[in-house]
């Protein structure tokens, strides 16, 4: 009856000037239903879900990721040739692809973990990762205590919340029956701070909310926190009916934000702020990005970046996968055959002015870190020119976070400018948005070719074509570094940056100069790519 009523409701409905027609879809074939009933998929452990490479040595993990990078790079070359990029025919992947850079930490590195409240295979309440697929019409959670990439404080918070839910009058949320309360817990666990966001399904009784808030506050922020062997400094309650809905957030305890140090900068993090999940490896990643951009660097690194040495690579047998670049390599012009500056030495040649464009900058972690790098280089006398950073981001709240970080760290605001808007709209008027240090130190405010370098760190699936076209049309930007946590997902963006010039793809195309894999996620199959593009 409900199906027939729904068909009647939608039949003839007008949407965007078109009339809907409805019909009842046939049930799945009985044979398929029986097959699914007979052979449910085995339940995976949390270790298998989150850290599928944990059983391998770290050298073997790096080797697998290097091989995966090689295959992806070959696919990019194939796609580039099909797109009519003539220079792609001479690309030599063994020259373009550099040896993967190792993470300085292999265990307990993850600072962000989201867990589901549900039931384990025995029907007991369990907080962990989902070990089944939704199409199987069952949701079984598996405990996370054997996952060595999760921090101990996170594990202790999770365990305490699990015991709390077991004793609660409210039940875990059932996705199929659309009943229950407790949905997920998000734990953002940093060196000195820890933020917890508990998400619940909307309660039928509004009067029940105060009790829920009081109980959660007592659990996570109560006076006996030290006895529970965990720390929480910020506590939020989120109310969300559907996973696609924007959750209604409310701070119910502690500070509204948490903080984390990156290099020697202190960043403010709110519940929705993006921040790299491996803080120490993020310093390595940002160092690699700065080297790919050709930015001046201080002789002494600010904190850690432990980049893999050639000795370690030879020990692991990884150098055989990526040979040293030959003198007569076809993939790069002679002027660009410089290895990344992994020892922190500064470039002695370069433009007198450098404007760094941080595209899709979020809260500004990349731009602010690299701006500080150039400041340190200037103090040491490694660079005597003018530098500045322009960050572009469509999320206004993220821009506000970046501006606050400048104030909190006592940075000179004349070297930074953060703008809320789309890159393609801002680029044509870029001189207007230049940091004040440019306008105050030269009579000629116009930026020249080679004085602009860009870094683009988009979401996992890449960015819209309009932003790519904006980068192509910005003629003064001769170098762009594209950062991707999913190289397969970034394939279209990379190809579009390199396509031959046409009516649709305006601007001089880029070409790939180098691809530097960086391992940000030990024990997983994921890795970052730092792609240097020049024109």
Domain ranges of the chain: 2-38, 58-105+278-323+351-534, 112-269
Paired tokens of 252: 């119910």
Q: In CATH, what number does 58-105+278-323+351-534 get?
A: 3.40.50.150
How long a stretch of residues is the chain? 535
Question: DSSP letters of 169-181?
Answer: SSPBPBTTTTB-S
pLDDT in tens, 70-112: 999 999 999 999 999 998 999 999 999 999 999 999 999 999 9
Name the average pLDDT for the chain. 86
pLDDT in tens, 222-277: 887 667 789 999 999 999 999 889 999 999 999 999 999 999 899 999 898 889 99
- Please count the other Cβ atoms lying within 10 Å of the Cβ belonging to residue 408: 13
Third-level CATH fold of 112-269:
OB fold (Dihydrolipoamide Acetyltransferase, E2P) (2.40.50)
pLDDT in tens, 479-506: 999 999 999 999 999 999 999 999 999 9
Task: Quote the distance between the C-alpha of residue 345 and its chain's center.
Answer: 28
CA dihedral 396, 398, 403, 405 (to 10 degrees): 160
* Segments of 326-473 assigned E as strands: 353-359, 386-393, 416-420, 452-456
Whether the predicted pLDDT of 444 surpasses 80? no
Closest CA to 89 of 100, 102, 104, 78: 78
Whether the predicted pLDDT of 397 surpasses 60? yes
pLDDT band at 36 (very low <50, low <70, confident <90, very high): low
Paired tokens of 223: 């006076």
Instruction: Round to whole Å and give the CA distance between 435 and 117.
Output: 47
- Please count the other Cβ atoms lying within 10 Å of the Cβ belonging to residue 362: 20
């Amino acid at each position: 009856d409900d199906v027939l009523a729904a068909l009647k409701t939608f039949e003839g409905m007008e949407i965007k000037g078109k009339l809907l027609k409805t019909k009842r879809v046939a049930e799945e074939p009985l044979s398929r239903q029986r097959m699914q009933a007979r052979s449910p998929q085995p339940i995976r452990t949390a270790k298998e879900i989150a850290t599928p490479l944990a059983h391998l040595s770290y050298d073997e993990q790096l080797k697998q990721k290097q091989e995966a990078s090689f295959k992806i790079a070959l696919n990019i070359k194939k796609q580039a040739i099909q797109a009519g990029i003539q220079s792609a025919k001479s690309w030599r992947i063994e020259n373009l692809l550099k040896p993967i850079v190792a993470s300085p930490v292999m265990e307990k590195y993850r600072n962000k973990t989201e867990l589901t409240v549900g039931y384990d295979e025995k029907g007991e309440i369990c907080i962990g990762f989902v070990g089944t697929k939704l199409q199987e019409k069952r949701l079984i959670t598996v405990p996370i205590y054997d996952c060595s990439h999760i921090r101990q404080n996170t594990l202790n918070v999770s365990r305490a919340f699990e015991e709390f839910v077991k004793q609660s009058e409210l039940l875990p949320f059932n996705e199929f029956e659309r009943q229950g309360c407790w949905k997920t817990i998000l734990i953002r666990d940093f060196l000195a701070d820890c933020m917890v966001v508990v998400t619940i399904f909307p309660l039928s009784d509004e009067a029940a909310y105060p009790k829920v808030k009081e109980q959660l506050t007592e659990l996570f922020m109560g006076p006996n926190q030290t006895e529970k062997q965990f720390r929480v400094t910020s506590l939020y309650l989120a109310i969300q009916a559907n996973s696609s809905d924007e959750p209604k957030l409310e701070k119910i305890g502690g500070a509204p934000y948490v903080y984390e140090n990156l290099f020697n900068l202190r960043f403010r993090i709110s519940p929705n702020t993006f921040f790299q999940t491996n803080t120490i490896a993020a310093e390595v990643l940002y160092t690699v990005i700065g080297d790919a951009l050709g930015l001046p660097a201080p002789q002494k690194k600010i904190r850690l970046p432990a980049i893999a040495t050639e000795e370690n690579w030879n020990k692991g047998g990884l150098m055989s996968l990526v040979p040293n670049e030959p003198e007569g390599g076809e993939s790069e012009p002679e002027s660009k055959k410089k290895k990344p500056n992994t020892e922190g030495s500064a470039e002695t040649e370069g433009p007198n002015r450098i404007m760094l464009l941080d595209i899709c900058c979020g809260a500004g972690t990349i731009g602010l870190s690299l701006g500080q790098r150039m400041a340190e280089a200037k103090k040491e006398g490694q660079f005597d020119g003018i530098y500045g950073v322009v960050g572009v981001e469509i999320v206004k709240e993220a821009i506000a976070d970046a501006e606050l970080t400048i104030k909190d760290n006592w940075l000179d605001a004349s070297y930074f400018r953060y703008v809320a808007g789309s890159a393609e709209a801002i680029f044509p008027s870029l001189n207007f948005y230049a940091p004040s240090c440019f306008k105050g130190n030269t009579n000629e405010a116009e930026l020249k070719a080679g004085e602009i370098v860009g870094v683009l760190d988009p979401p996992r699936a890449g960015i819209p074509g309009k932003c790519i076209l904006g980068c192509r049309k910005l003629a003064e930007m001769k170098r762009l570094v594209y950062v991707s946590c999913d190289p397969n997902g970034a394939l279209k963006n990379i190809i579009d940056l390199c396509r031959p010039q046409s009516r649709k793809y305006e601007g001089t195309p880029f070409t790939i100069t180098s691809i530097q894999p960086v391992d940000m996620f030990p024990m997983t199959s994921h890795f970052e790519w730092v792609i240097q593009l020049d024109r």
